[in-house]
Structure 1
Amino acid sequence: MTNEAIVELLELTTKLLELHGENDFKIRNFQNAAFNLDKTTADLTTVPLAELSLLPGVGKSMASKIDEIRRTGTLKDLNDLLAQTPEGILDMFRIKGIGPKKIRVIWKELGITDTQQLLLACENGEIAKLKGFGEKTQETIHTNLLFLQSNSSKLRMDVAQVLAEVLCEALEKQFPTQITGEVRQKAEIVDLIQLVTAAENSAEVQKFLNTLEFVQQDEKASTPFIWRGKFLDRSIPVEVRISRPQTFINQVFIRSSSPEHLTQPIAHSTLLKTTLKEPHDTEEAIYAELGLPYLSPELRNGTDELSPESLQRLPDLITWEALKGTVHNHSTWSDGKHTLEQMARAAADLGLQYLGIADHSKSATYANGLSEERIYQQHQEIDQLNERFRAEGLDFHIFKGIESDILGDGSLDYDTDVLKSFDFVVASVHSNLKMTEEKAMQRLIRAIENPYTTIIGHPTGRLLLSRPGYPVDERKLIDACAANGVVLELNASPYRLDADWRWIPYALEKGVRISINPDAHHIEGYQDMHYGVAVARKGGLTRQMTFNTLTQSEMQAYLAQRKIG
């Protein structure tokens, strides 16, 4: 049991209470507890019951329910609600644009209890006829439901990585094993978890895999040298290829590279032919045989990575070690979990030289966005912390930023006098996401043209496997950034990875810097920059064109030069 698991159970209970029309007071109790505990730094599994009741949003009654969860792993209130709920209804909670109250109407009025019935009702026009719905709501439900269904057997890279590692660690106890495929190539969306293992007797691997309790074999799809199946609680397919020990590296290389990468002509041969010709001890040796430098798996995309220009850039590609600071982060001033000082010291502990704090702006009321008065108070705290760091001899600096909402007309969330008080501004769209491309571009370009905008944040608004984002003309957006000296964000959260790495070559061509921003809401969120670096490398991003490779003094000079008034 973890904090996250406890909060998830409280959130699910809240949704089910709304679904079943329970009284507002009870709903608010669970809602407030989940909201506040999601931000707490206390370890909910060990806090004494008496102290638990003193946490914000908890109280004695809710403390006893949390204690029940951590003792039993479940909650009677939740189990009672689940017993009254058709299983298919729970899947509807994943559909964007539809909450528990609307799901209740659909269930009670039309007797719909699963997503397939809901899809059919949308296509027949039944949803639009319900009171409080209409054609637009029906269209939103239909679009988002189709999006979810099309991605039902896929995983984000972070989730797929964890599952692949669990299986790899189990296999490694008996056989040499390597994660391959989309996971090793750092694909942002994974369709298939693949591994290669080595054994003289493939039947032994098959037998071992079938002893594992967390995977299940698809016997019809499997062959003597390929075990196919899935994780018991996931629909994503899993494939384990069994190689002879002497060809293990060859198979790992082939399964960690795109077909296009393997078949590009090189000196009257290809990487595939070279790999199949004889056993190799290392992947580096395969490249060396053709006179090529080693390309790590995330670069083997089959685009232009083997061109002379790309090969020349290899030593300059962005790495984690090259990052000097982190910008676009949140603290308890808005919806973050850790205080400003905790966020700063954690960044310093990682060896970074600066923290760009960019809490939410005032329009983001749902995220405790900062009023003008609170901005002034936060800036005072930043000044005090920076002075304290200097007194301690800590070479670390906090830059004053804001994640300003881009409003419906493309303007930013504060007037000029407030905007000029920041060192930098991340301008992002958070509301009214259902836009035509024309509307989205008007909104984004006006924000980019605002002289106070430093970075354009998560430019499509996508949430991978959950929300496709609004349509964007990437070339026009990058052209606008180039014309206005605005940095393009690569939001490193594995939920976003936005801008898409495929935009990077055009951004580099136009001289637009990319900022690998974790959008961290807690100190662990800094680690998301690993995902950002991985996909940035896929796009060929260099150290020189990465915004947050600037040193502290370089960043101060850059921001001072851009600052107006």
Structure 2
Amino acid sequence: MENKPIARRLRLLSQLMELHEVNPFKIKSIANAAFKVDKLPFSVAGKTLAELEKVEGIGKSTAAKIHELVETGTMTDLEDLLAATPEGVVEMMGIKGIGPKKVAIIWKELGIENTGELYYACNENRLIEAKGFGLKTQEEIRKAIEFRMASNGKFLYAQVTQEANDLLDEIKTIFVDALVEFAGEYRRLCEIISELVIILGSRDQHLAFDTFSKSSILQNITVNANHINGELANGLLVDIICVEKRYFYEELFMQTGSDEHTKAVLARINDELDQPANEELIYVKAGLEFIKPELREGDTFIAKAENNNLPQLISYNDLKGTLHNHSTWSDGVNTIEEMALYCRDTLKLEYLGMCDHSKSAFYAKGLSIERVLQQQEEIDHLNKKLDGFKIFKGIESDILNDGSLDYPEEILKKFDFIVASVHSNLKMDEEKATARIIKAVENPYTTILGHPTGRLLLSRKGYPINYKKVIDACAANNVVIEINANPFRLDLDWRWHQYALEKGVWLSVNPDAHRNEGFLDMHFGILVARKGGLSKDRCLNALSLPAMTQVFEKKRG
């Protein structure tokens, strides 16, 4: 074993010791030894234990640890500390800008156990609440995590929208007479993007190759047949497919849908596509109603298209209000009044549903019973002076380990609506996690099931649940399922929207906003709702204010 990996293991040991608050003298001794081993002009692996003990800066105790590592490939002390530390916490210590002391605060005081949760906390402005953290530190950590995520080659849809649209606009500016459009994952509105595909229909393909090779639009450019490959500054891979104009729509169709979808459509066409003038003609030839790009996953919508029964997909303008939002009463940035005025005057919405955290969410200043009553007094006061707008009294009630909600019945019945969500003990097995959620769904006060799996895209898988059982329970108990519009969540997963709709379950596009800008996440929620085939007549917050009021009153009754 070389000196550098030995030094790295010693350094990790010292960091874990600091994390678990071991004797500071011992921590310093191991840290100094790690530095010393890394700089030695000879290999420590070839030394006997007695020889190691004589090396300046190592000492008897550390020499024994090094000898154990060389002989066995590990150190007992290190393995013991690793066993006592969640894997995600160990990973966090590798992030630039935070050492063991800060990681200890993040883990033990904020309850954050992995990089994904930490990134989410940064975006929710939650990190600055912890001792020793400020806005600048939070921003540096967020950027460091983004850099690491980029190196994995996968991006959230929301992370690349600006760069993707800027690239498309730049290409259109250069090739004025060309046909240019997105294809692939981005055009299908996939929640995770691994490559940006663009179809370029141009009369002069050689000009296109020459232009891209000489410009700074893309980095690391290579040309393979009619594909120009490169990457953006953020590391996102780009594939520009150049074809003659007459083949543009055929190529656009071929490169947009998933393989399964494209094959299913082509199997219905007996002759060649024959240079179609638009994509609609391809579906006409296949005897199908035109299927929008976001629905071109597998063959889910083929039968509906054959019977002219495709859903009229919801749009952002169909939304009349916003539910599940957090104010300064818990972990939000804006006051209730600021959020209400923003929704009414800027977003032109009819209502706002406040859902601050419940009392068990101590990390997010969850509301005690006394504070619930105080907040409701404030909402009553605001509703009297807000003209043509209503604030609904809600709460995001934690689903406790046994499936019960976070307040006694006499408090639960004081809310207009309740979003029930899991925030703790995310490591239950599927059977227990499913039973826990179903019990919460069966509570007569539960109106909406919030972010059903607790997932954080590219970061945390979420707790395992039996989707069918949970959705069936929501159908049986008249509980709405949330499509959490936060681009890190987008939960309920679009792959289960159709099953929920077929069972008669309504969905709600909720931003989970913690500041005014967070309301804009509803745009991403709408995109994933469209991908799942949601229409406005089955979306809760597409209801008008009178209709929404009636729904809440009926549920409470």
Residues 360 and 368 in structure 1, CA contact (< 8 A), matched pair in contact too: yes
- Aligned to 2:86, which of 128, 132, 137? 137
- The 3 A distance-change label for structure 1 pair 357 and 245 is same
Specify the alignment match of 1:37 in structure 2: none
Q: Deviations over 1:254-298 (max 9, x none)?
A: 22222322222579517xx65x41241x33343345454332210
SS of 1:240 mapped into structure 2: strand
Counterpart AA for 1:351: K
Larger radius of gyration: 2
Aligned equivalent of 2:303, options 307, 316, 321: 307
Q: Deviations over 1:493-533 (max 9, x none)?
A: 11001111111122122211111111111222222222222
CA RMSD in angstroms, aligned pairs only: 3.6
1:153 corresponds in structure 2 to 153
1:228-277 deviation line (CA, Å, top 9, x unaligned) = 1222342x42211112223223322322222322222579517xx65x41
Distance 1:555 1:279 in 2: 46
1:59-78 map, 5 Å: none
CA contact (8 A) 1:515 1:548 kept: yes
Instruction: Tell me if the contact between 1:127 and 1:134 (Cα under 8 Å) persists in the aligned partners.
Output: no
Q: How does 1:156-305 map to 2 (within 5 A)?
A: 156-175=156-175, 176=178, 177-213=180-216, 215-219=218-222, 222-234=223-235, 236-264=236-264, 268-269=268-269, 276-280=273-277, 282-305=278-301
> Are the structure 2 counterparts of residues 436 and 135 from structure 1 closer, same or farther at C-alpha, using a change threshold of 3 Å?
farther
Q: Give the Cα–Cα distance (whole angstroms) in 1 for the partners of residues 535 and 521 of structure 2.
A: 19
Deviation at residue 422 of structure 1 after TM alignment? 0.5
Q: Is the 8 A contact 1:216 1:230 kept in 2?
A: yes
Q: 2:386 aligns with which of 389, 398, 408?
A: 389
- Asked whether the 8 Å contact 1:461–1:498 carries over to 2, the reply is yes
The separation in 1 between residues aligned to 2:327 and 2:88, in whole angstroms, is 37
1:520 to 494, 513, 521: 513
Q: In structure 1, the residue corresponding to 2:181 is in which secondary structure?
A: strand
Q: Aligned partner of 1:164: which letter?
A: A
Stretch of structure 1 that moved more, 292-301 or 494-503: 292-301
1:337 aligns with 2:340: no
Alpha-carbon distance in 2 for matches of 1:340, 1:124: 57
SS at match of 1:470: coil
Q: Distance in 2 between matches of 1:140 and 1:319?
A: 40
Whichever residue aligns with residue 230 of structure 2, its letter is: G
Residue identity matched to 2:194: D
Letter in 2 for 1:180: A
Q: Deviations over 1:460-510 (max 9, x none)?
A: 110000111111110111111122111111111110011111111221222
Q: Give secondary structure in 2 for the equivalent of 1:369.
A: coil
Taking the aligned partners of 2:86 and 2:289, their CA distance within structure 1 comes to 54
Contact 2:288–2:306 at 8 Å: present in 1 too? no
Give the 3 Å change call, closer, same or farther, for CA 311–428 of structure 1 in structure 2: farther
Q: Which moved more, 1:535-544 or 1:165-174?
A: 535-544
Whether 1:537 and 2:530 are equivalent positions in the alignment is yes
Counterpart amino acid of residue 345 in structure 1: L
**Deviation digits for residues 399-443 of structure 1, max 9, x if unmatched?**
100111112222211111211111011011112212211221122
Structure 1 portions without partners, runs of 5+: 1-87, 93-97, 114-119
Q: Contact between 2:301 and 2:310, CA under 8 Å: does it hold in 1?
A: no
Residues in 2 aligned to 1:469 and 1:151: alpha-carbon distance in whole angstroms: 23
In the aligned structure 2, how far is the partner of 1:211 from the partner of 1:190? Answer: 26
Distance 1:309 1:371, change over 3 A: same
Length-normalised TM-score, structure 1 = 0.72
Once residues 229 and 257 of structure 1 are traced to their aligned partners in structure 2, the CA distance between those partners, rounded to angstroms, is 22
1:31-83 CA distances to partner (integer Å, 9 max, x unpaired)?
A: xxxxxxxxxxxxxxxxxxxxxxxxxxxxxxxxxxxxxxxxxxxxxxxxxxxxx
Residue 469 to residue 217, structure 1, CA distance change in 2 (3 Å): same
Distance 1:232 1:99 in 2: 38
CA displacement at 1:553 relative to structure 2: 1.0
Out of 350, 353, 372, which is 2:350 matched to? 353
Tell me, in whole angstroms, the C-alpha distance in 1 between the residues paired with 2:306 and 2:327.
39
- Identify if the C-alpha distance between structure 1 residues 132 and 416 changes in structure 2 by more than 3 Å, giving closer, same or farther: farther
* Residue of structure 2 aligned with 1:492, choices 485, 493, 502: 485
CA contact (8 A) 2:257 2:293 kept: yes
Question: Mapping of 1:453-532 within 5 angstroms?
Answer: 453-532=446-525
Per the alignment, residue 377 of structure 1 pairs with 374
Equivalent position amino acid for 1:321 in 2: N
Change (3 A) 1:199 1:501: same
Aligned partners of 1:445 and 1:458: how far apart in 2? Answer: 14
Q: Tell me how far 1:354 sits from its aligned partner.
A: 1.2
Report the AA paired with residue 354 of structure 2.
I
Could you tell me which of 420, 426, 441 is aligned with 1:433?
426
Q: TM-score with structure 2 length normalisation?
A: 0.73
Query: Size of the alignment, in residue pairs?
Result: 452
Q: CA 1:531 to 1:216, structure 2 compared with 1: closer, same or farther past 3 Å? A: same
Aligned partners of 1:402 and 1:424 also within 8 Å: yes
Distance 1:183 1:304, change over 3 A: same
Query: Where does 1:29-40 land on structure 2 (aligned, <5 Å)?
Result: none
Instruction: State how far apart, in whole Å, the 2-side matches of 1:211 and 1:342 are.
Output: 50
CA distance in 2, matches of 1:129, 1:434: 24
- Could you tell me whether the CA contact under 8 Å between 1:214 and 1:232 is conserved in 2? no
Percent of residue pairs bearing the same amino acid type: 42
Q: Which consecutive unaligned segments of at least 5 residues does structure 2 have?
A: 1-7, 39-68, 92-112, 118-147
1:128 Cα deviation from its structure 2 partner: 8.0
State the secondary structure of the residue aligned to 2:356: strand
Change (3 A) 1:192 1:511: same
Q: Report if aligned partners of 1:361, 1:402 keep a CA contact under 8 Å in 2.
A: yes
What is the letter of the counterpart of residue 335 of structure 2? T
Q: CA deviation at 1:102?
A: 7.2
Partners in 1 of 2:540 and 2:21 — Cα distance?
44
How far apart in 2 are the matches of 1:340 and 1:254?
48
**Offset at residue 188 of structure 1 (A):** 0.9
| Cα distance between partner residues in 2 of 1:381 and 1:291 | 58
- Counterpart check, 1:318 vs 2:314: yes
SS of the residue corresponding to residue 394 of structure 2 reads strand
Are the structure 2 counterparts of residues 128 and 511 from structure 1 closer, same or farther at C-alpha, using a change threshold of 3 Å?
A: farther
Partner Cα separation in structure 2 for residue 184 and residue 517 of structure 1:
23
State which drifts further: 282-291 or 459-468: 282-291
Provide the C-alpha distance between the structure 1 equivalents of 2:17 and 2:81, rounded to a whole number of angstroms. Answer: 13
Aligned-partner Cα distance in 1 for 2:429–2:376 = 37
